[in-house]
Structure 1
Amino acid sequence: TMSFADSANITLFGKGDTLHQQVLASFPLCDLTEEDLSQNPQFCKLLVTLAQHVDSTGLTLSLKTELDKAEQKLQSHRRNWLRSQGLFQALKEMIQEHCVRKHYSTFYETMEKCLLVVQCVRMLDPSSTTDKEQPNILGLEPQQVLQLMPLEKNVQRMQRGLPKELEKHLKKKCLSLLCYCHPEWENDSENLKCTKLSHLAAQVDKDKKRTESLKESILEKTVLLQRQTRLYLSELIKCIKLLQTLILDHRLKIQTDLDKKKLDYFEGKCELVVQKIKSELVDVQLDTYTPDAISAHRKIREKLESEFKSCQEEKQHVELKLASFELLGKEFQALAEEYGKLRQQIEMKNWALKEFTQYKNK
């Protein structure tokens, strides 16, 4: 259950869709959607209450305050370090330019030796974070290295001329940076460049702020794009499911219509093949049966039919005789068999007589 104070905070925070939008705006790093919040109202109330105590990154207000103070302190130390580091780099660049020109100068020789001695002393002098009992490099002590400093008068002369030389060097670098940022100002006079140089820091700061604003805008657009992408994918999935349902519901009907059309097609194709076969048979018959062959076949048929007719008449005559013989009974059958044997003997004797007569004539 929610307390009365939490309910009041929720009322002040927003209602309905506005509540969901404000919750999503308060926690941009969370992968949530308005649908998730709608389906889980208690979780939405918890986020509303939690938004009163934490920022958009998830830090509590007290921790955020401490973090801001630590960030300010860090920035202060960072500026001091960058200031000294920038000065050190400028001095090294001045020495390098002097070495490139190969022009002897007591000022630069003294400055180079001072820098080297100071660097060595810092390396030999243990800091508060290192072990003080650790042996020094090569057994050297800082006081031994300090003895290598140039003459005092040369050092003092170098210190008096250093601000002017450093100013000239830095001015040259600033003008080079100005020409790099605005190449169209390269041909302007030095006084005009110095005047424009005074506005360079403000312009760079303005460009930096504009870049940060663009980054924030890009981040917001990225989050919005991710939400829209998820919404688009969810809608696309719904459309796919609806399409699958339509396909499953109408597939059988479509398949039946398709099968019917295929059946009609194959029936028409089969009929065409049958007609083509009949046409080929007619062509074969026309090539095989010429008019002369048909006339000869007709004569042969007439002759065969006449012989068949005479054979049928003879068959009927024999059947009539056979029927008359069968009426006489078994006694006549024995006489018929004996008559048949006698006829065979007569035929054999006639054949033998014929053969004998032929042999005798030879």
Structure 2
Amino acid sequence: YRKMTEKTAVNMLGESDSLHQQVLASFPLCDVTEDDLTQNPQFCKLLVILAKHMDRTGLTASLKAELEKAEQNLQSQRRQWLHTEVLHRSLQEMIQDRHVRKTEPPDQSMLHETMEKCLLVAECVRQLDPSDTTNQEPPFVLGLTPQNVKELMPADKDVQRMRQALPKHLEKHLREKCLTLLSYYQPEWESESEGLKTVKMSHLSGLLDKEKTRAESLRGTCQENRLLLQRQTQLYISELIKCIQLLQTLILDHRLKIQTDLDGKKLDYLEGKCQLVLQKLKAEMVEVQLDTYTPDSISAHRKIREKLESELKACRADKQTAELKLSSFEMLGEEFKALAEEYCRLRSEIKTKNWALKEFTHVKN
């Protein structure tokens, strides 16, 4: 059977184009996308097989049956508890209404007093002996026992009268509460007759069931829409990430391709700008020279230049002659150097004595 099921699943994988959507619909709580199923066909086949043994919430058939049975038992216990709780609260509300009104016929006053005492005694007995509802041990409060409290019950005659009259009063109280609920549910029915209100009140439970079913249906629809929106958001984000990655790749490739052309054009532009600045500097220099030098000053400068060049040429010739003489003197050796120094010293003394003689002669005259 298992091999046949797997074979059927494989055939379905090959034949049905909407299988992925069916799998996603069978497992709405599973965070799986259609791309995941496409990339993992074996996993998709496993989900198809599991869908035959599980429901949308992930429960198996046997577990679901046990859960339904437990829920039915729970609902039965809950209805029984609600029946008792509604009856107890209705009786307490009747007692509260009696305290609020403060004025009522003697027969009703006796009925309410007897009912209040019975409820109070029953509550005290339950507090002293909780064994009927729990496994707790009876507490010891002032040494009292449930039998001591039961002795405070009203007379049997009053209790019997109360039991006979209670259903009628309880029915009247519940009717008033139902009419109040009907007026709250449909305020426009407030002005209608009692008979029409009674007829509509008999259909109130059906209307409330329809509203409850509708609310549950809307809640399920909202849940499905939320899951669908979540799945679509994930798909949108994944596609958006792919688009961003593709855009980044295109930008990088485009930038790398045009970067060389851009650098070359930028270099050509800077070279042209540099040449333009140099030409502008030359033009400014020429303009400054034209504004500074006149034709007469230029001819004078030329003459000065020619004279300086001739003097420079004569100095260079004298320098060359002196260098030749110096080289010839250096060839004579150290003795000639001493004679040259002695000669220089004698010339300096002669010059000094001539100056002193000239000054002396000038002073004498």
Fold equivalence (TM over 0.5): yes
Return the match for 2:145 from 138, 141, 144: 141
Confirm whether residue 221 of structure 1 aligns to residue 222 of structure 2: no
Return the match for 1:155 from 150, 159, 173: 159
Worse-matched range after superposition: 136-145 or 8-17: 8-17
Could you tell me how far 1:110 is from its partner in structure 2?
1.9
The 5-angstrom pairing of residues 95-110 of structure 1 reads: 95-103=95-103, 105-110=109-114
Could you tell me how far 1:208 is from its partner in structure 2?
0.9
Separation in 2, partners of 1:82, 1:100: 26
Could you tell me how far 1:262 is from its partner in structure 2?
4.2
Separation in 1, partners of 2:318, 2:39: 112
Separation in 1, partners of 2:315, 2:6: 128
Q: Is the 8 A contact 2:9 2:45 kept in 1?
A: no
Counterpart in the other structure of 2:238: 234
- AA at the equivalent of 1:66: E
Could you tell me how far 1:82 is from its partner in structure 2?
0.8
Q: Is the 8 A contact 1:120 1:145 kept in 2?
A: yes
Could you tell me how far 1:274 is from its partner in structure 2?
5.3
Could you tell me how far 1:254 is from its partner in structure 2?
3.2
For residues 305 and 220 of structure 1, do their structure 2 counterparts lie closer, same or farther at Cα, with a shift above 3 Å needed? closer
Separation in 2, partners of 1:44, 1:170: 57
For residues 314 and 344 of structure 1, do their structure 2 counterparts lie closer, same or farther at Cα, with a shift above 3 Å needed? farther
Worse-matched range after superposition: 213-222 or 345-354: 345-354
- AA at the equivalent of 1:164: K
For residues 280 and 143 of structure 1, do their structure 2 counterparts lie closer, same or farther at Cα, with a shift above 3 Å needed? farther
Could you tell me how far 1:222 is from its partner in structure 2?
2.1
Deviation string, structure 1 residues 201-232 (Cα, Å, up to 9, x no partner): 22211111111111111222222223222322
SS at 2:18 equivalent: helix
Counterpart in the other structure of 2:39: 39
RMSD: 4.3
Q: Percent of counterpart pairs with the same letter?
A: 59
Aligned residues: 344
Separation in 2, partners of 1:175, 1:241: 66
Separation in 1, partners of 2:222, 2:317: 123
- AA at the equivalent of 1:74: L
- AA at the equivalent of 1:195: V
Return the match for 2:194 from 190, 199, 211: 190
For residues 98 and 55 of structure 1, do their structure 2 counterparts lie closer, same or farther at Cα, with a shift above 3 Å needed? same
For residues 265 and 168 of structure 1, do their structure 2 counterparts lie closer, same or farther at Cα, with a shift above 3 Å needed? farther
Q: Is the 8 A contact 1:111 1:158 kept in 2?
A: yes
- AA at the equivalent of 2:74: L
Q: Is the 8 A contact 1:10 1:45 kept in 2?
A: yes
Confirm whether residue 256 of structure 1 aligns to residue 271 of structure 2: no
SS at 1:71 equivalent: helix
Separation in 1, partners of 2:113, 2:350: 168
Separation in 2, partners of 1:317, 1:262: 56
Could you tell me how far 1:55 is from its partner in structure 2?
2.0
Separation in 1, partners of 2:208, 2:10: 43
Could you tell me how far 1:119 is from its partner in structure 2?
1.2
Counterpart in the other structure of 1:328: none
Could you tell me how far 1:238 is from its partner in structure 2?
2.2
Q: Is the 8 A contact 2:125 2:146 kept in 1?
A: yes
- AA at the equivalent of 1:208: K
Q: Is the 8 A contact 2:128 2:139 kept in 1?
A: no
Structure of greater relative contact order (alpha carbons < 8 Å, 6+ residues apart) = 2
Could you tell me how far 1:118 is from its partner in structure 2?
1.0
Separation in 2, partners of 1:14, 1:56: 24
Q: Is the 8 A contact 1:14 1:22 kept in 2?
A: no
SS at 2:54 equivalent: coil
Separation in 1, partners of 2:298, 2:52: 119
Counterpart in the other structure of 2:71: 71
For residues 48 and 343 of structure 1, do their structure 2 counterparts lie closer, same or farther at Cα, with a shift above 3 Å needed? closer
Counterpart in the other structure of 2:49: 49
Worse-matched range after superposition: 139-148 or 272-281: 272-281
Separation in 2, partners of 1:100, 1:186: 24
Separation in 2, partners of 1:18, 1:12: 10
User: Unmatched 5+ residue regions in structure 1?
Assistant: 326-336
Q: Is the 8 A contact 1:10 1:49 kept in 2?
A: no
Deviation string, structure 1 residues 106-125 (Cα, Å, up to 9, x no partner): 33222211111111122223
SS at 1:17 equivalent: coil
Q: Is the 8 A contact 2:128 2:141 kept in 1?
A: yes
Could you tell me how far 1:171 is from its partner in structure 2?
2.1
Could you tell me how far 1:33 is from its partner in structure 2?
2.6
